[in-house]
Amino acid sequence: MDQELHYEYNVEGGDFSRAGYASSQIKKILKRLNIDAGVIKRTVVACYEAEVNIVAHAYSGAVYFDIESNRLKIVFRDEGPGIEDIEMAMTEGFSTASEEVREMGFGAGMGLSNMKKNADQLNIESEVGRGTRVEIIINT
Amino acid sequence: MKVSDIVRILDGRLVCGDNRSDYTIDVAFASDLMSDVLTLVNDNVLLITGLANLQTIRTAEMSDINCIVFARNKKVSQEMVSLAEESGISLIECRYSVFRTCGLLYQAGVKPVY
Ligand SMILES: Nc1ncnc2c1ncn2[C@@H]1O[C@H](COP(=O)(O)OP(=O)(O)OP(=O)(O)O)[C@@H](O)[C@H]1O
Ligand SMILES: [Mg+2]
C-alpha cells in the first residue's frame, strides 16, 4: 500500500445490536483497497471475534485500525474486568460468557483461538479490574 | 446449487437477495452457534440455522456466507433484512426443522463441510 491510513471506532459493552459495526467498516475499507479476498476474510473474522469479545465481556472499548505499508494492525482496547489467565482463556472451550451472550450464538470459548488461527500475530495484554488490549497483525 | 433451487427444495420463502445466477452453493453447515460458523474456511457455504438475530447476519457478512436458511419458521426482522441487503446476502425462511432442511439438501447433492 502506498498510503498509510488510520481509522477509529467505539464499541459499547453489552450492545449486541451494534456488535460487528467496526468489523463491517473495516471490511468495506479493505474491499475498496482491492485486498485479496482470503486476507480480508482472515482479517475481519479475527476483528469480529475481538469486537464481540468487548461487547460480551467488557464495558466499553475502542478499535484502532492502521493500514501500513505491508501489514494491517488492528488494536482492540477495552475497559472491563480483564483476563486473569490469558493462557487458560486461549484454551478452546474455556468461556465465562453469560446466558445472554450464549443466546446470541456466542460463548463457546472458541474466539481467542480462532483469532490466533486467522491472524499472523496476536498479542494480548490484560490487567484484571482494568481492561484488555488485543492486537491483531495481518501481513498483506 | 442456486439460491432458487434451495427455495424450491425447501418450499421456502426468499425474504431478500436476488436469485443471483453467478452464485452457487457448494457446501452447507448447520449451526446455532456463531462461534462455530466463524471457524469455517470454506467458500460459498450455505448456513442453515435456527438463530434469527442481527449477529447471524454479521457472522455471515464476516465469513463471506452469501445465503442463510432460517429453519423452523424463524422470522427474519426488518433490521436483519437491511443488514443482509447491504452485504448482498440472500435470506430464506422455511417451515421445516433444521434436521429436515439438512436432509432434503443433502439428498439433493449439497455437501457437508466436515
Ligand atoms: N475483552 C475481554 N475482556 C474480558 N475477558 C475476556 C475478553 N476477551 C476474552 N475474555 C475472556 O476469555 C474467555 C475466552 O474468550 P473467547 O473469545 O475464546 O471465548 P468466548 O468469547 O467466551 O466465546 P466465543 O468467542 O466462542 O463466542 C471469555 O469467556 C472471557 O472470560
Ligand atoms: Mg469470544
* Per-residue pLDDT reduced to its tens digit, B84-107: 999 999 999 999 999 999 999 999
The answer on pLDDT for B55 being more than 70 is yes
- Domains of chain A: which residue ranges? 5-139
Cα distances from B22 to residues A19, B2, B113, in angstroms, run 30, 9, 21
Closest alpha carbon to B45 in B24, B74, B62, B22? B24
Give the pLDDT score at B20.
63
pLDDT tens for A9-29 read 999 999 999 999 999 999 999
Q: Is B88 helix (H, G, I), strand (E, B) or coil?
A: coil
What is the pLDDT confidence band of residue B21, given thresholds at 50, 70 and 90? low
**Domain limits, chain B:** 3-110
For B5, phi then psi, to 5°, come to -65, -40
Q: How far is CA B104 from CA A14, A73, A138, B28, in A?
A: 38, 44, 40, 12
**What is the dotted CATH code of the domain comprising B3-110?**
3.40.1390.20
Min CA distance, A1 vs chain B (Å)?
Answer: 23
Q: Which of B32, B33, B35 to mutate to test the pocket of ligand 1 (most atoms within 8 A of CB)?
A: B35
Provide the sign of the torsion angle of the four alpha carbons B14, A32, A15, A82, taken in this order: positive
B51 contacts in chain A (CB < 8 Å): 105
Nearest CA to A22 among A43, A57, A42, A48?
Answer: A48
Give yes or no for a contact between B93 and B13, defined as CB atoms under 8 angstroms apart: yes
Between 3.20.20.70, 3.30.300.30, 3.30.499.10, 3.30.565.10, what CATH number should domain A5-139 receive? 3.30.565.10
Q: Measured between beta carbons, which residues in chain A are less than 8 angstroms from residue B53? A: 16, 104-105
Q: Which atom of ligand 1 is nearest to the CA of A49?
A: 25
Helix count and strand count (H, E) for chain A: 5, 5
Give residues (CB < 6 A) around ligand 1: A 49, 53-54, 56-58, 78, 80-83, 89, 94-97, 106-112, 132; B 35
Contact A39, A47 (CB under 8 A): no
**Taking the model in full, what pTM does it have?**
0.97
